[in-house]
Structure 1
Amino acid sequence: MNRQIEGGGVTEAQWAASSWLQTLPRASATALFGDAQRLVVVSPHPDDEVLACGGLMALAHQSGLRVMVVSVTDGEACYPDQPAWSPERLRTARAAELDDALHCLGLSGAERISWHIGDGEVTANEAWIAAQLGAVLQRDDLVLAPWRFDGHPDHEAVARACLQACNECGADLKEYPVWGWHWLDPQAAPTAWASATRVALDDALLDRKRDAIQQFVTQTGAVEGLDCDPILPAAVLQRFERNYEVLIG
């Protein structure tokens, strides 16, 4: 697989035309959560968790599960050539955006951990992250982590660390794609994501998730002083504004 994150990527129209995606097995929230006592969502950068599984996080809270959000980096390196948006400013801004997004999802009281690993430096800290997760995770957790072949080095390193920690403690693990939607050929998805399922989001929850996504203004470009294309243009956001979310595993 050529895991390159560049250009416009696969369009939402191409994914919408995928008969595999449209007939993907459905999993209820009850079946997904099973006997888990806590949902732990591990995110490489603030926004990945809300984009890929914000609806599931809200459903977990509604189901009575405790929710923990782990931010591995602060996402401060997304605009290296933008003087108005220095790493220092982005650290503060992206943390505040995540606060606002979680509030939209009814998750203001969720437990939060931030490790402040350098954005783009996750691979070098993979063993440390796995060890920290080992100290945090419990056997009755359901852990959501990035897809291990997502195409972004930070995502893939977090995925490997989560896999190691879950194997050691016995916690259940599911993976969520973020950039996989960008580069994966929909015709290859039935093989790459053979164990995938989809969880439906009702209209009210989808509206809340869309509101949550819009809180990431530095990523959508809804800020002054950004003299480049945003990380999350409309064509990318479409992948995360569907009335369902996809998990692998």
Structure 2
Amino acid sequence: MADPGDLSGRIPAPQGARPPWRELEGLRPLTLRACRRLIVVAPHPRDEIRAAGGLLRRLAARHASVDVLALTDGPGRTCTPPEGIAVPDPGDLGADLVVRPDDLGDPDTLDSVLARLDGIAPEDGDGEEPAGDGGSDPEEIALADAYRALGVAEVHRHRLGLPDAGLSRCEADVVGALSEIVGFVEDPHGLCVLAPWSGDGDDDHEAAGRAAEIVCAAYRVRLVRWLDQAWSWAGPESAEVPWRRARQLALSETVQARKLAASAAFGGRPGRDRELPDGSAPGPREVFLV
């Protein structure tokens, strides 16, 4: 079996080439019906929104509480669509609201987009109230705006402030912090931890993933892993990725647009921070390993 931490045999996809992600359309759906509390291990700001914004929205709509353990305050990637995403406007059946990266760079346009999205008929709990004020910290304000864009009412954040690109030296700190949260949960059967896959190819992601595996094994808690950097080197036939454990969450156009708006809340054009060669995650879905 290939060592998931060994990147020597991984060949990145050629620039401009799009792997045949359509082969993943037949993945079984991700079901977390018993999840009443989700703890997210996020190596960088907005990582969880990029990789699992749709899942966060769905669970929050089911009234599951969401905790985010923010490991660093360092840079993170944003969602990058290949084209604009059309969102139906219920007030005008003959017109679509088209959300494009350039549009979302303008705060006024972003507010207009969110107002239109909030007017769309409820879907998976679209009637959620927006997240609260993030305080005076610009990063926290951006995160509050991002979750408001997703339609997630409340997120409890725990900031560790560990060094960006240095989590491999701080894995014990991550294990300790996550253990403190998981260990005090009254109902562990309704708990789920969401973290990066430990074979992702990004040092910080892999360190966070290993720490989550240790804690979840110790407390016998369900762990769900997301892929991020792996999309730049892995394909559906990559032996390094345990595709047999992969599950998908299909995203409506409305949810896709909300994820773009959430990324735009951090300012700048989406996708310019450490953009992957193939853009964002594959198609109108989020993919997880269970």
Same fold flag (TM > 0.5): yes
Tell me by how many angstroms 1:189 deviates: 6.0
Partner of 2:274: 231
Question: What amino acid is the match of 1:182?
Answer: S
In the superposition, relative to structure 1, how do residues 23 and 133 fare at CA in structure 2: closer, same or farther (>3 Å)? same
Assess if the C-alpha contact under 8 Å between 1:126 and 1:158 holds in 2.
yes
Q: Deviations over 1:3-56 (max 9, x none)?
A: 38x9984678633x24531222223xxxx2232220111110012100110010
1:246 aligned residue: 287
Q: Does 1:48 align with 2:91?
A: no
Q: How far off is 1:244 after superposition?
A: 1.3
The number of equivalent residue pairs is: 221
Q: Residue 98 of structure 1 is aligned with which of 123, 140, 143?
A: 143
1:185 to 235, 240, 246: 235
Q: What secondary structure, in the 3-state scheme, does the structure 2 residue paired with 1:99 have?
A: helix
Q: State the identity as a percent.
A: 28
**Cross-structure match for 1:63:** 62
> Which of 149, 158, 172 is 1:113 aligned to?
158
CA drift of 1:108 comes to: 4.7
1:163 aligns with 2:213: yes
Q: Is 1:22 equivalent to 2:72 in the alignment? A: no
Deviation at 1:70, TM superposition (A): 1.5
Q: Distance in 1 between matches of 2:17 and 2:28?
A: 20
Contact 1:45 1:71 in 2 (8 A): yes
Look up the SS of the partner of 2:237 in the other structure. Answer: helix
SS in 2 for 1:239: coil
Aligned partner of residue 54 in structure 2, secondary structure: helix
Per-residue CA deviation, residues 129-160 of structure 1 (Å, 9 max, x unaligned), is 11111110132311110011011111101001
Q: CA separation in 2, counterparts of 1:57 and 1:77?
A: 18
Q: Name which of 238, 248, 261 aligns with 1:198.
A: 248
CA 154–170 in structure 1, closer or farther in 2 if over 3 Å, else same? same
Deviations 1:180-212 (Å, cap 9, x if unpaired)? 101113321695322001011222222211211
The one-character-per-residue Cα deviations of 1:213-248 (angstroms, maximum 9, x if unpaired) are 222335847xxxxxxx64237x554426x3211110
Q: Does 1:124 align with 2:205?
A: no
Matched residue type, 1:33: L
The DSSP-based 3-state class of the residue aligned with 2:71 is: strand
Larger helix percent:
1
2:275 partner SS:
coil
8 Å contact kept, 1:3–1:150: no
Query: Unpaired runs of 5+ in structure 2?
Result: 78-136
Task: Tell me which amino acid in the other structure corresponds to 2:221.
Answer: A
Provide the secondary structure at the position in 1 that maps to 2:166: coil
CA RMSD after TM alignment: 2.9
1:197 and 1:246 in contact (8 A); partners too = yes
Code of the aligned partner of 2:18: Q
Q: Normalising by structure 2, what TM-score?
A: 0.67
More off after superposition, 138-147 vs 158-167: 138-147
* Amino acid of the structure 1 residue aligned with 2:46: D
Q: Using structure 1 for the length normalisation, give the TM-score.
A: 0.77
Bigger relative contact order (CA 8 A; separation at least 6): 2
Distance 1:190 1:20 in 2: 17
Change (3 A) 1:69 1:95: same
